[in-house]
Structure 1
C-alpha cells in the first residue's frame, strides 16, 4: 500500500488548517448567542469534523466502514476507543452526538479554533498531572453525562502503533461506574492509513467496530476493574480480527 504523493497531503493539511481557522472564527462570533450547550457543541465540533472527514476522503482517499451502529444505546455514556491517529477524533464526533472529549488543555490555545473549542466545554486536562486529571474527568465528566452528552475517552492516553496490544487506564471506566452510565467499546485501524508518525497518508478503508454496550455492576473498585478489563479485551479481540488473527 503506497504512500500518497506529497502534494496531495500538503493540500489536505493546508485546507484542514484553513477550514479550522475560518470555522473557529465564525463560531466565536455566532455561538456565544446560542444558549443550548448541546447545539454549541454540535456546531463547533461536529460540523467541522464532517468537513475534516470529507477532506480526508476526497483528497487522500481514506474511506470508512462502520460495523455495529445498532449497538449504540439510547442513553448517552462513555465511549472507550483505541487511539491510533487523529482521524478517529474527527470521525467519532459524527457517530455519537452530542459529545464532549477528554483532551489535553494545550489544544484550547490554538488560535480561533481552539478558542472556539473552549466554548464547547471539553474536558481539558494537564496530562503532566495525572491525579488532577482524574479528578477533572470525574467531576466535569459527571456533569456532562447528566446534561446528556456522550464522553469520548482514549484510555491508552496517547496514540499507539497498529498491532500494539492495548492497555487501558481506568479513568473512563471509573467515570461510567460513578454515574451508572454504559460503556461503549470502539475498535478501529485508522493508524494503518493515517500513521502516528509523519505526515504521509495511505488510501484505503478504515474499519470501525462498535461493540455491545457494557453496563456497570456497581461503583466500587472491583466493578471498575471488571468493566475496564471487559472493554480492553473486546477491543483487543476486535483489532485482532481486523488483522485476520
Structure 2
C-alpha cells in the first residue's frame, strides 16, 4: 500500500474519531485564522495539551509529516500507520539520533512538498504549564526553508493531560500569521514560543 493511500485512510479514521467526539462526548471544535495558511507547504508549530490534536491534525493538515515521539510507534496499528505514512520519529533518550531522523525526514518532506507539524514542547503540557521548546524545530527550518505557521489550541481545558474525565465544549484551534523565512522573527524561537504561550493563556481564561 502506497504512503499516500495510507494517509488517506488515516484521515478517514480521524474523521470517525472527530465524529465520535462530537456525537458522544459533545466535544466540537472551531478553526480561526484559516486565511493565514500559505498556499504552499509550511511548518505548523503547535502547543500540545491533549491526545485530541494528535489525531485531529490528520484532518486539519492533510498529508503533513507529523513529528511523533518514538513511544507512539509501539502502539498497535497506530505505530504501523506512523511508519508507513511515513512520519518523523523523535527518540527522546537519543537526541543526536533524533536530530538526524528529523533532518532526513524534513528533506524528504521538502522533496515531496509535504507540510510538517511539530509540537516543540515535546510532550503534552497542562493548560497553564510551560515546557521549553526543543531544538528539533530549528533543524526542520534549516532543512526545508518552509515558512512557519504558529498554531494555538486549548484542548487541555476539555481533555487535559492525565484527565480522568473529558468535558464537552468547543475547542479552539487558532492559526496565527505566517512567518516567512525572510522575517527577522523567523529564527527568534523564544519570541514565537512567548506569543504562542500568551495566546494559549488567553484561551484558557
User: With structure 2 as the length reference, what TM-score do the two structures score?
Assistant: 0.90
Distance 1:159 1:243 in 2: 15
Query: Which structure is richer in relative contact order (CA contacts within 8 A, separation 6 or more)?
Result: 2
Deviation at 1:174?
A: 3.2
User: What value does the CA root-mean-square deviation take over the aligned residues?
Assistant: 2.1
Greater Cα offset, 108-117 or 135-144: 108-117
Distance 2:70 2:11 in 1: 19
Deviation at 1:150?
A: 1.4
Mapped pair 1:124 → 2:85: no
1:132-143 aligned within 5 A: 132-143=97-108
Greater Cα offset, 235-244 or 203-212: 235-244
Where 2:156 maps in the other structure, the secondary structure is helix
Q: Of Structure 1 and Structure 2, which has the larger fraction of its residues in helix? A: 1
Deviation at 1:116?
A: 3.3
Deviation at 1:93?
A: 1.8
Where 1:48 maps in the other structure, the secondary structure is helix
Higher Cα radius of gyration = 1
Q: Give the aligned partner of residue 187 of structure 1.
A: 152
Distance 1:105 1:156 in 2: 15
Instruction: List gaps (5 residues or longer) in structure 1.
Output: 1-31
Distance 1:121 1:80 in 2: 19
Whether the 8 Å CA contact 1:145–1:151 is kept in 2: the answer is: no
**Deviation digits for residues 187-218 of structure 1 (CA, Å, limit 9, x no counterpart):** 01101111101331011111111111112249
Instruction: List gaps (5 residues or longer) in structure 2.
Output: none
Q: Give the aligned partner of residue 65 of structure 2.
A: 100
Residue number among 174, 197, 203 corresponding to 1:236 in the alignment: 197
1:1-245 aligned within 5 A: 32=1, 34=2, 37-43=3-9, 45-217=10-182, 225-226=187-188, 228-244=189-205
